[in-house]
Amino acid sequence: MITFKTVEYDESQNRLVILDQTKLPEEEVYLTLKTAEDVYHAITNMNLRGAPLIGVAAAYGVVLAAHRGNPVSAGKACDLIQSARPTAVNLFWALERMRNRMRQAKDLYKELLQEARMIEKDDKESCQKIGALGTDLIADGSKIMVHCNAGALATSGIGTALGIIYTAKQQGKDFVVYSNETRPLLQGARLTSWELCKNDVVIYTICDNMAATFMPEMSLVLVGADRIALNGDVANKIGTRGLAIIARYYHIPFYVAAPISTFDFALTCGKQIPIEERNPDEIRMFHGRNIVATSARICNPAFDVTPAELVTGIVTEKCIVTPPYEENIRRLQ
């Protein structure tokens, strides 16, 4: 079903080939990353993005640095890549796995490559399981609102929120998707429309400020996550909290889809989640044009936190977690 590869490690040349998401939907082009620094830049520039995919790419970034078997280079690669983006906990989770493996490794490169491949395999399997568990949420005739891109482009598999949609589609269910464009970087407009159209899913792209207008018609809202605290508070792309508030007003179920690697068991609530503040030019500029008065100040938080009380359930690879969140999230560990 998925005809593109978001990441592929080429062992013969020790290089990582990634689909350049900044060029979509106009061009499907691939970038070759040869060093951990390249991976760091690809993550910060968002050539690749989405919490699970960032984790997978980070692991391969460490492999690139470990090619000559030098643990110092591999350790430095972990430190550098870890600083690329602060919110998605999958990045830190994947690097922690790589560091643990590094400590015990006899053949550094071989073992780190094995670990990175395992992280990728786990990600693919989690997506499949999330899809299989979440498909029950979709009934024939559903209208589903999604935000940002939590699809195949955000993982190495079929995606999380969109993984559920692909599974429902495969089962022959009849439904339509409403995708918010997701300003400022338009992951919904550029990426979600691209991958859903490639897979013949009926999709309407709407502006973010149309969400309240269309919400009363929706059967459910389905989003991804970048980090989930113990109490069930969910950090995801900016705008998610607004959707959850609107959904609650209209009594529309609001579901999050995320692998267990997205849970941060060390954080008791969402207030502790670091929120990335990105370059103001992402808002100031549009298609190379300055669209904001030059002396206006700009706020550009990339994520927000949706309080657990607005979340109907969280679809993981193990089960659909429902309240009481703290008790049920602890059981995932």
DSSP letter (8 states) at residue 185? T
Nearest-approach distance from CB 240 to ligand MRU, in angstroms: 7
Return the number of the residue (141 or 274) whose C-beta is nearest ligand MRU.
Answer: 274
Q: How many CB atoms lie within 10 A of CB 224?
A: 31
CA distance 290 to 49: 25
DSSP letter (8 states) at residue 187? I
Nearest-approach distance from CB 14 to ligand MRU, in angstroms: 26
Instruction: Look at the alpha carbons of 162, 262, 188, 142 in this order and tell me if their dihedral is positive or negative.
Output: positive
> Given the rule CB under 6 A, which residues bind ligand MRU?
49-52, 88, 148, 150, 154-155, 160, 187, 224-226, 236-237, 302
Contact, 151 vs 159, CB < 8 A? yes
Q: How many CB atoms lie within 10 A of CB 113?
A: 21
Nearest-approach distance from CB 223 to ligand MRU, in angstroms: 6
Nearest-approach distance from CB 68 to ligand MRU, in angstroms: 31
Q: Which two tokens stand for residue 13?
A: 């040349």
CA distance 299 to 302: 10
Q: Which two tokens stand for residue 121?
A: 């395999």
Q: Which two tokens stand for residue 240?
A: 């998610």
Residue nearest ligand MRU, Cβ-based: 224
- DSSP secondary structure, 4-73, as one string: --SEEEETTTTEEEEE-GGGTTT---EEEE-SHHHHHHHHHTTSS-SHHHHHHHHHHHHHHHTTT--HHH
Nearest-approach distance from CB 154 to ligand MRU, in angstroms: 3
Residues identified as active-site: 226
Return the number of the residue (75 or 280) whose C-beta is nearest ligand MRU.
Answer: 280
